[in-house]
Structure 1
Amino acid sequence: MLRILHSLPRTHKLLLLPVATMVTVLGTQKLLTTYQDLNQPHTSLESVLVPLPSDGVTAVPSLRQERAPVAEAIDRASRALDATREQIPLSDLAATEIIDLDVISRAEASISSEIDAKPVLDEGAIHMAVVFGTVSSGMLNIDEPSADASVEIADATSYEDYGIELFDDISFLEMELAAEEPYVPEWKTHIVASGETFAAIAQDELGMGYSEVMALLDDMSDPRILTNWRAGNSFDYQLDENGRLLSLRMMKNIRDGVMLERDTDSFAVTAIEREGEPVQRLFAGTVSGSFARSAQATGLSSGSVTELTRVLEKKLDFRRDSRRGDRFNVLVESDMIDGEELDARVLAVHYEGERMDLTIVRNATDSKFYTPEGSGLEPGFARYPFEGSYRLSSSFNPRRKHPVTGRISPHNGTDFAMPIGTPVVAPADGRVERVANHAAAGRYVVIRHDNGYRTRYLHLSRPLVSVGERVTMGERIALSGNTGRSTGPHLHYEVIVNNSPVNAMTVELPDSTGLTGDTLIAFQSQAEPMLAALESGETGTVNVANYQAGERD
């Protein structure tokens, strides 16, 4: 390429200057010398090469192009000068679009030895190259008709990778555009490392002062969410353009969290409560061994098994009533959030066994369980364990003193004077826990009731039930008497709550939990599709809304 350059007239060398500058560094010294020669007083510029026509291609300008007057060339060069005042980074130009780079490989290798170091180009030479490169590549549009209207400028384009660093500054236009863009805060995530505290992170990364951190913690109803965290916890935050905290979001769990948002010089604290989509699933199993293990084998969570056991034991004594082969279906509802099931709750249960056949449904109004007929699992509790009216002969008195010794001798029950053989009845549903004889208590009976209370009956003449037997409210369980250490015929009656004796005459007793009237009608309407889902036996995810009257729509 340099040989060609040496053989051309000076004006043609000038026209090749921009192309050679864009392509290779090897000929920089020669090109610079050529440019300086052209600026000598004795140098005459009689003609210049016109730009490429519209159908031309980007390459070395042809030497056979027709020539044009100097005035027109100067006019074009002036417009090119105006068009190139804004410097174009060389990284935006592609050498492959300027010239076939195979030209470089054909240059004599010996020329490279003439260049010891990267030359520094004269600023005039640099700008001249840009001007002529603009014209020859067709990047200058002609807005005004020229003297030669037949000459057209090719469509403009852009280039990358000149191969030589012409400018080292950045575009002022880009800086102006960036300055005009509004600041948009981005959400970032911080994962708590071992030993990190919120106070330290707030000051080091969130642009908060110590007093601001303390004021924030004082404003929070539960500051432990920010102070009692563990390694691996994370929170999301936004900073303003000055690096100060704008907002912070931290979740205690997948459902609950807190949002902090800057409000002038303080932070507004808002609780986050995510609501999940309810999903119902039906589980079915058979008792084999313990009921709890059999229930867990169906896939029920430990929490659901605990709730199921607690509900059923109000009617079912698992140790005595459950038998191998008993079957059960359980309908459970959970909240689905981000693919995770949370807060599982039992909706309905059907237990079919040798000694117990029970179906119960949760009532959405009070969250208690009832049979399909509206009977509750916690029946009412009668105040007196007998029919009729009998005189209270000795009241409940845990501080009673013995009449002879003077020592504290508690009376943990209530005595009713009554003839021997008076029927004693169960005050509530339950199961007989003990039937025995004692030197002081005489013959006695202990019953554990469905609500967790226990009752004891002392000085009986004859028990009418046996251990393990199920009794219902109002059923006869014994006959009163005068056995044991007693001063006369009477019934000693005790009520025990949480393993402590209480006054049977004043203790708060549960009322009947059965549903009636409109409440019962509403419950049965709500229970209908759940009962149908239970009866279907279709285990897995179900849509309760699709079940009506025992059949699927």
Structure 2
Amino acid sequence: MKQIGYALLFIVVLFSCKKEKKEAKIITPEVIEEKKEPPVITKYGYVLDNFNVIKDTVRPGDSFGAIMDAHGITRSRVFEISNKIKDTFNVARIMAGKPYMLLTSKDTTQKAQVFVYQNNKIDYTVIDFRDSIMAKKRKKPVKLVEKTASGTINSSLMQTFDDLDLNFLVAYDMADIYAWTIDFTRLQAGDRFKVKYTEKFIDDTIPAGVDKIKAAYFEHIGKPIYAFRFEEDSINGAIDYFDEEANNLRRAFLTAPVKFSRISSRYNLRRRIKYYGNKVRPHRGTDFAAPIGTPILATADGIVTKSERRGGNGKYVKIRHNATYDTQYLHMSRQAVKVGEFVRQGDVIGYIGMTGNTGGPHVCYRFWKNGKEVDPFKQDLPASKPLSDSLRPKFFNHIEPIKAELDSIQFKPQEIL
């Protein structure tokens, strides 16, 4: 009897389990999608989502006042802003072609609140006039990238850099470094160079100029000239370039008053001058031909003794350097200095022109020694002092690995026409 009871109980349990299995539902877990917050975009220290953003470029004829007026700022407010920030930024000096960003309110007025002006690729000015008025000068983050380059001269340094697709600013800096030792108007086909420098980049990809040349090598007419950047005085930040024997490359006088020009006529006391009907007339200067408006540089420190226009000289400047030397620069389109002004070597003192007796744009560079006009290229001019004995061990340790790297750079061949 018990066995029958157990059997019935087993059947009941079995069927009830099957029924439960039949009625069981499959529950799918609910997938909850995580909402991603949009990234917060900031620029120049402002969350851009909080404003309407207007990016534009200053157009010819635009002014700060006109830009503000077009975006709801009254003239009285513009005057207040201009006056408040004048020590930081002169609004009258905004230039056509410069980019700017305007942040305006998101309400119906869309009134301007922040003006960001791009002074250059790196520097910018932020003018915030939401409540109180303030202006700040800022710089974009800059990445420095070390580079090397080499080349062989075909016609000119600039042309070689262009042919090799190198940064032309490096060529300008090299011309400055070697301005006392190499006459760049007389480069020879086959001259060659190597250079180690750092270049500036914004956002990793936008070139923003050359930071500095660390070392260079220039072989001119078979003569090698090294140049190593070295800080002589860390307190005053005195930095100069020296050769591998610690001699300063700087000289008392530059070899030319114009960068990348050519000598169209040399000092010659028996030259026949076409302008005067091919008559023999002494030419007591050296003519450097260049386009009108090219800057003319003081070849040495000194005091401006003359800045005037006179007869065949046209507009000219004369500089007294010391008790022995004077220099004179003729035929300028305009002068950039006044009598009594102290000028440094390399300062712009005027611009190439055609004033006075001249058949083409150039500067006639005259060199005076003890009151007599002489040929500057035949003078034994004073050199700068070499590096002090106390700094020489530090200098040689500094340049050893740099020179080894420079020497390992292979010259890029340049086809000589």
Match of residue 198 from structure 2? 333
Instruction: From the superposition, tell whether residues 437 and 380 of structure 1 become closer, same or farther in structure 2 (CA, over 3 Å).
Output: same
Match of residue 209 from structure 1? 74
Q: Secondary structure at the match of 1:363?
A: strand
Retained in 2: the 8 A contact 1:187–1:236? no
Structure 1 residue 218: Cα displacement: 1.9
Alignment partner of 2:50 out of 186, 196, 204: 186
Alignment partner of 1:235 out of 77, 101, 121: 101
Cα displacement string for residues 205-252 of structure 1 (whole angstroms, at most 9, x for unaligned residues): 3x5332111111122346555763447833142537685554332222
Q: What is the CA–CA distance in structure 2 between the aligned matches of 1:494 and 1:260, rounded to whole Å? A: 50
Structure 1 residue 378: Cα displacement: 2.4
Match of residue 121 from structure 2? 254
Retained in 2: the 8 A contact 1:369–1:376? yes
Retained in 2: the 8 A contact 1:185–1:240? no
Instruction: From the superposition, tell whether residues 291 and 240 of structure 1 become closer, same or farther in structure 2 (CA, over 3 Å).
Output: closer
Q: What is the CA–CA distance in structure 1 between the aligned matches of 2:139 and 2:396, rounded to whole Å? A: 32
Q: Secondary structure at the match of 1:192?
A: strand
Q: Secondary structure at the match of 1:330?
A: strand
Retained in 1: the 8 A contact 2:82–2:91? no
Retained in 1: the 8 A contact 2:52–2:110? no
Structure 1 residue 283 corresponds to structure 2 residue 149:
yes
Q: Secondary structure at the match of 2:165?
A: coil
Match of residue 169 from structure 1? none
Q: Secondary structure at the match of 2:133?
A: strand
Structure 1 residue 372 corresponds to structure 2 residue 203:
no
Q: What is the CA–CA distance in structure 2 between the aligned matches of 1:294 and 1:537, rounded to whole Å? A: 17
Q: What is the CA–CA distance in structure 2 between the aligned matches of 1:234 and 1:446, rounded to whole Å? A: 48
Identity of aligned residues (%): 16
In structure 1, give the amino acid aligned to 2:118: M
Alignment partner of 1:536 out of 396, 404, 408: 408
RMSD after superposition: 4.5
Structure 1 residue 340: Cα displacement: 1.6
Alignment partner of 2:327 out of 496, 519, 522: 496
TM-score (norm 2): 0.50
Instruction: From the superposition, tell whether residues 184 and 325 of structure 1 become closer, same or farther in structure 2 (CA, over 3 Å).
Output: closer
Match of residue 222 from structure 2? 355
Higher RCO structure, 1 or 2 (CA under 8 Å, sep 6+): 2
Q: What is the CA–CA distance in structure 1 between the aligned matches of 2:246 and 2:181, rounded to whole Å? A: 15
1:56-67 equivalence runs, <5 A: none
Structure 2, unaligned runs of 5 or more: 1-22, 31-46, 232-236, 254-265, 272-281, 288-297, 301-323, 330-364, 372-380, 413-417
Instruction: From the superposition, tell whether residues 372 and 226 of structure 1 become closer, same or farther in structure 2 (CA, over 3 Å).
Output: same
Retained in 2: the 8 A contact 1:292–1:305? yes
Q: What is the CA–CA distance in structure 1 between the aligned matches of 2:268 and 2:48, rounded to whole Å? A: 79
Instruction: From the superposition, tell whether residues 215 and 434 of structure 1 become closer, same or farther in structure 2 (CA, over 3 Å).
Output: same
Q: Is the strand fraction higher in 1 or 2?
A: 2
1:52-131 equivalence runs, <5 A: none
Retained in 2: the 8 A contact 1:187–1:238? yes
Q: What is the CA–CA distance in structure 1 between the aligned matches of 2:172 and 2:48, rounded to whole Å? A: 50
Instruction: From the superposition, tell whether residues 244 and 348 of structure 1 become closer, same or farther in structure 2 (CA, over 3 Å).
Output: same
Structure 1 residue 279: Cα displacement: 1.2
Instruction: From the superposition, tell whether residues 258 and 539 of structure 1 become closer, same or farther in structure 2 (CA, over 3 Å).
Output: farther
Retained in 1: the 8 A contact 2:157–2:171? no
Structure 1 residue 512 corresponds to structure 2 residue 384:
yes
Match of residue 267 from structure 1? 133
Match of residue 527 from structure 1? 399
In structure 2, give the amino acid aligned to 1:359: Y
Instruction: From the superposition, tell whether residues 522 and 494 of structure 1 become closer, same or farther in structure 2 (CA, over 3 Å).
Output: closer
Structure 1 residue 514: Cα displacement: 1.8
Cα displacement string for residues 23-61 of structure 1 (whole angstroms, at most 9, x for unaligned residues): xxxxxxxxxxxxxxxxxxxxxxxxxxxxxxx999xxxxx
Q: What is the CA–CA distance in structure 2 between the aligned matches of 1:444 and 1:539, rounded to whole Å? A: 41
Q: What is the CA–CA distance in structure 2 between the aligned matches of 1:510 and 1:216, rounded to whole Å? A: 54
Retained in 1: the 8 A contact 2:158–2:171? yes
Q: What is the CA–CA distance in structure 2 between the aligned matches of 1:315 and 1:245, rounded to whole Å? A: 55
Q: Secondary structure at the match of 2:53?
A: strand
Retained in 1: the 8 A contact 2:52–2:106? no
Instruction: From the superposition, tell whether residues 350 and 191 of structure 1 become closer, same or farther in structure 2 (CA, over 3 Å).
Output: same
TM-score (norm 1): 0.39
In structure 2, give the amino acid aligned to 1:512: S
1:87-486 equivalence runs, <5 A: 186-192=50-56, 197-205=63-71, 207-221=72-86, 223=89, 228-230=94-96, 233-239=99-105, 245-262=112-129, 264=131, 266-318=132-184, 322-338=187-203, 339-344=205-210, 345-364=212-231, 365-379=237-251, 452=299
Structure 1 residue 283: Cα displacement: 1.0
Retained in 2: the 8 A contact 1:378–1:512? yes
Structure 1, unaligned runs of 5 or more: 1-53, 57-155, 157-182, 382-432, 454-492, 541-553
Q: What is the CA–CA distance in structure 2 between the aligned matches of 1:343 and 1:259, rounded to whole Å? A: 23
Cα displacement string for residues 321-346 of structure 1 (whole angstroms, at most 9, x for unaligned residues): x4433331122221111212222143
Q: What is the CA–CA distance in structure 2 between the aligned matches of 1:497 and 1:515, rounded to whole Å? A: 31
Aligned residues: 262
Which has the higher Rg, Structure 1 or Structure 2?
1
